[in-house]
Amino acid sequence: MKPFLAIAVAGATALALVSATPSGAETLRLAGNFPVAHSSSVAMERFAKAVADLTGGDLTIENFPAMQLGGAKENVDQVRSGVVFGTWIGSAYLSRTVPELEAVSLPFAYPNRETAFRVIDGQAGEVLNEKLAEKGFVSLGWMELGSRNVTNSVRPIKTVEDFEGLKIRLQPNETHLGTFRAIGANPVSMGISEVYSALQQGVLDGQENPYSIIASRNFSEVQTHLSDSGHFFDYIVLVANKRKFDGLSEDQKTAVREAAADAIAWQREKAAAEDEQSKQALIDAGMTFTPMSDETRADLRARSQPVVVELKERIGSDLIDLVLKEAGAE
C-alpha cells in the first residue's frame, strides 16, 4: 500500500471509530485477576453490556481480566489512586487496606453459602461498605469466590494431625494465615500467579482455594489430594474509586448500581453450579477426594478459636460478634 493511501485508510478508520462513539461518552476501566472464563469475569461482561444499554452508550465499561493490568495488589493500588475505575477482586486482597474485612473471613463460620450471603447482604455488609468508603472505595456488591478447600501432594487430610507441617499457600490475610498456624500447618503467603510453579517444584506442599479456582488454574496437574475442608468462605467484591464514582451523574450512578446488582445475582447462581462441576472435574482429572468428617471439622474449629480472639483484639469485637450472630454461629 502506498504511504499516502495508508494514511488515508488509517484516517478513515479513526474517523469511523470516533463517529461510532456517542458524543461525550466516557469509558471506565475495570481490572481483574480472575481467568477470562471464570464466572466473575463473565459477570463483568454482563455488567459492561448492561451499563452501555442503560446509559444509551454514554457510559461504557472496558474490562481487563486475567491480570492484564497486573496482579491483585496492583489492581487495588490502581483503583485507590484512580488509575482505573474499579476492580473485582477476592476480598482478602483488600484486607490490608481495610482490616475489618477479616471479620467475614472467620474460620469455619459458615455452614453453607446461604449463610455466608445472609451475612454479607445484612448489617455486617453495610458496616464493611462504610469502612471501604472511608478508604476511598465504593462497594458495588459481593460475588461468590466460594468455600475454600485444601489440596496437597503429601497425604489425604483426614484429621487435624494431617495438617502438621504442610507448606500451604494462602492469600495475604492475617486471619487465614493465623488459622493455618493454629492447626499446625506452615502457611505461606504468595501471589496466585506463582503458585503453580511452586507446587510443581515442591516449594509448596499444597494450597487452598474454591474448587473453581483449583480447576481453572489446573492445579490438578501438580496436586494429588483434594479435601472438602471448607475452612473459609470467600467473597469477590466489586469496588470502584469513590472519587470517580461520585463524579458520575446521578443517572449514571443508578445505571452502574443496577447493572452491578444484575451481574452479581447472575454470578452467585452461576458460581453455585460451577462449584460442584469443578469438584467433579478435579476428581475426573485424577485427584483423590477425601471428605472431611464432622468430628475433624469441629476439632479444627476449636483449635482455630484463638485466632478469632486475636482478631477481636486487633479490629474490635463488635463487628465480629455481629458476623457470628448473623451467621448463627453463636
CATH of residue 308's domain is 3.40.190.170
* Model pTM score: 0.88
Strand partners, 60: 27
Total domains in the chain come to 1
Residues in contact with 96: Cβ distance below 8 Å, sequence separation at least 6, in sequence order: 172
CA pair distance 209, 217, nearest whole angstrom: 10
- Is position 10 within any domain? no
pLDDT tens per residue across span 252-272: 999 999 999 999 999 999 999
Which residues form the domain of 206? 25-327
- Per-residue confidence in pLDDT tens, the chain, 330 aa: 444 344 334 443 333 333 334 557 899 999 999 999 999 999 999 999 999 999 999 999 999 999 999 999 999 999 999 999 999 999 999 999 999 999 999 999 999 999 999 999 999 999 999 999 999 999 999 999 999 999 999 999 999 999 999 999 999 999 999 999 999 999 999 989 999 999 999 999 999 999 999 999 999 999 999 999 999 999 999 999 999 999 999 999 999 999 999 999 999 999 999 999 999 999 999 999 999 999 999 999 999 999 999 999 999 999 999 999 999 954
- Is position 8 within any domain? no
- Is position 194 within any domain? yes
CA pair distance 188, 313, nearest whole angstrom: 23
CA pair distance 80, 98, nearest whole angstrom: 12
* Strands annotated E in the chain: 26-32, 59-64, 86-90, 137-147, 149-152, 167-170, 186-189, 206-209, 225-227, 233-241, 288-290
- Is position 234 within any domain? yes
- Is position 316 within any domain? yes
DSSP letter for each residue of 287-303: -EEEPPPHHHHHHHHHH
pLDDT tens per residue across span 229-244: 999 999 999 999 999 9
- Is position 2 within any domain? no
- Is position 1 within any domain? no
At what angle are helices 123-134 and 317-327 packed, to 10 degrees? Answer: 150
- Is position 212 within any domain? yes
